[in-house]
Amino acid sequence: MSDVAKPRNPEDDWKIWLVINPATWLMPIFYALLVLAIAVHWVVFSVGLGWK
Amino acid sequence: MASLSGLTDQQAKEFHEQFKTTYTAFVSLAALAHLLVIAANPWW
């Protein structure tokens, strides 16, 4: 496994789309982002940092 | 040789350009939102 070429980022970032197909995974990525944003807001409000 | 995702290099690069643009817009909007919160109600 160690002879696999190491990516140089960010110039090789685009190659992720050679592995995951955005037609399949773009919406799941967006939903994961939405879940994360809701979770962060939930925590911020639960520790009392929301608008009073 | 077909890629794992089925996209060609050209398609992957083309999609990545749009992905970077949209992500930059998202981060800019989030940064603006954070500045507004800091202005209204700093959390420190």
Q: Is the pTM of this model over 0.80?
A: yes
CA B11 – CA A21 distance, rounded (Å): 10
Which of chain A's residues have a Cβ under 8 Å away from the Cβ of B12?
A: 14-18
- Whether residue A21 and residue B43 make contact (CB cut-off 8 A), yes or no, is no
Closest-CA distance of chain B to residue A12, Å: 10
Residue-wise pLDDT tens digits, A1-52 = 778 889 999 999 999 999 999 999 999 999 999 999 999 999 999 998 887 6
Within 8 A by CB and 6+ apart from B7, the residues are: A17, A18, A21, A22, B15
Which of chain A's residues have a Cβ under 8 Å away from the Cβ of B3?
A: 18-19
ipTM: 0.86
